[in-house]
Amino acid sequence: MSTPYSENAVWRSAFPFLDAQGKDGRPVAFLDSAASAQKPRAVLDRMDSFARHEYANVHRGVYDLSEHATVAYEAARERAAAFLRAGSDRVTIFTRGTTESVNLVAYAWGEAHVQAGDTLLLTEMEHHSNMLPWRALAERKGARVEYVPVTANGAALDLAAAEAMLARKPKLFAFAHASNVLGFLTPAARLCAAARKHGVTTFLDAAQSVGHLPVDIEAIGCDFLACSAHKACGPTGVGLLVGRLSLMENLPPWQQGGSMVEKVRFDAVTYRPPPARFEAGTPPIIEAVGLGAAFNFLSDLGLEAVEAHSLALAQRAADGLRKIPGVRVVGPEQRGTGVVSFVAEAVHAHDMAYFTNGKGVALRAGHHCAQPLMHRLGVPATTRASFYLYNDEEDVLRLLDAVAGAVSFFKA
């Protein structure tokens, strides 16, 4: 399914950043949504109105405004749980984002469950955010870290290796639902089922999938899932950790402070149950309301359509890039997500992004917070184009033109 252009034009009209005239009188071809997505008017307006007229701290005041703010904050939590199909046996916790969600579990769950000699299983393609907190946990505990390999040119995760490594019963398997570099989805439900068979706890880094495709936690069956609102049309500063209640209800808190305690005496403290136990201090209230608005906005458009649209543009971009002499696309032939990373023989990734910026095409260049993966692919860096609902076919053509221009400029 590809999106009819008329629908895409309506989607584009929801995003004020496209009102600005950029280089050559056209709006920017924004191809860096994998780093952070642009915000639709519906999200900006909801946050603005909430901050102006409905704002107060939550879970504290008995006055109307505070009670209203608390209702809005809790409604955003319910919206998030429904959007991700979390079900009543899971708890949805507001965090600052994916990075904080990983750290939360690496401390709260990791301290309670991981012991010397245990193995933590990751993959070679993980973002540093879903790698370094587990490595630090392993160091604290004297555990080992193993990595499921990716196949040649980063075309896929080696599933046979993953299943063999899971059969050795690591304590945890933490992996990305969608790579932020390689442009494929991992078969999360299959991997979680394999992990469950061996009693392995699973942590799904869904930073690149939530808001880009339908994500159904019940169907996937992961124990923990993390995501960030800012990659899904929502604001920065807020994200989610969704965890099985049975795993979270007996965990100690990872941060101490206001709102997460039931009783404090000079010599004793008892904690509230999750989610409050894991939300110490004043939470990102306006941002949580913005997250709810972003999920409403995306649900109204339909995640299937958003996914199909990004995928169609990414496939066109990848096919076009492959035809440019000296350009190699990493990852699979057939795109699985809207991400396309590539290397050009004669052009350093940073020069490429600098050159395309001159043509009004915003790309990301570098290691994408996945340095071990770059090492595995044998490249210092890649240039990445990532597509989302507000991109169109013209953005693809501008990308291909700009990259071809850079290749001939730097060859000369």
Ligand X SMILES: Cc1ncc(COP(=O)(O)O)c(C=O)c1O
User: Which residues in this chain contact ligand X in the complex, by CB under 6 A?
Assistant: 97-99, 127, 129-130, 176, 180, 205, 207-208, 228
Name the token pair of 4: 């009819």
Single-letter amino acid, residue 372: P
Closest by CA to 232, choosing from 279, 168, 299, 134, is 299
Instruction: Say how many C-beta atoms besides its own lie within 10 A of residue 108's C-beta.
Output: 22
CB of 34 to ligand X, least distance (A): 6
At which residue do the structure tokens 């699973």 appear? 202
CB of 368 to ligand X, least distance (A): 7
Q: What are phi and psi of 328, to 5 degrees?
A: -120, 130
Q: Output 240 or 400, the one with its CB closest to ligand X.
A: 240
CB of 176 to ligand X, least distance (A): 5
Q: Strand, helix or coil at 204?
A: strand
Instruction: Report yes or no: 211 and 79 within 8 Å, Cβ to Cβ.
Output: no
Q: What angle do CA 386, 391, 395 make, to 5 degrees?
A: 85
Q: Output 123 or 315, the one with its CB closest to ligand X.
A: 123
Helices (H), 16-123: 41-49, 64-83, 98-113
CB of 99 to ligand X, least distance (A): 3
Strand 172-176, strand 119-123: pairing: parallel
Indicate if 222 belongs to the active site.
no
Q: Output 205 or 395, the one with its CB closest to ligand X.
A: 205
Instruction: Report yes or no: 115 and 141 within 8 Å, Cβ to Cβ.
Output: yes
Q: Output 180 or 391, the one with its CB closest to ligand X.
A: 180
C-alpha torsion 276→280→281→284, nearest 10 = -70
Query: Which of the residues 192, 222, 227, 369 is marked catalytic?
Result: 369
Strand 90-95, strand 364-366: pairing: unpaired
Q: Output 207 or 220, the one with its CB closest to ligand X.
A: 207
Q: What are phi and psi of 174, to 5 degrees?
A: -115, 125
CB of 162 to ligand X, least distance (A): 17
CB of 107 to ligand X, least distance (A): 16
Q: Output 128 or 272, the one with its CB closest to ligand X.
A: 128
* Catalytic residue IDs: 369
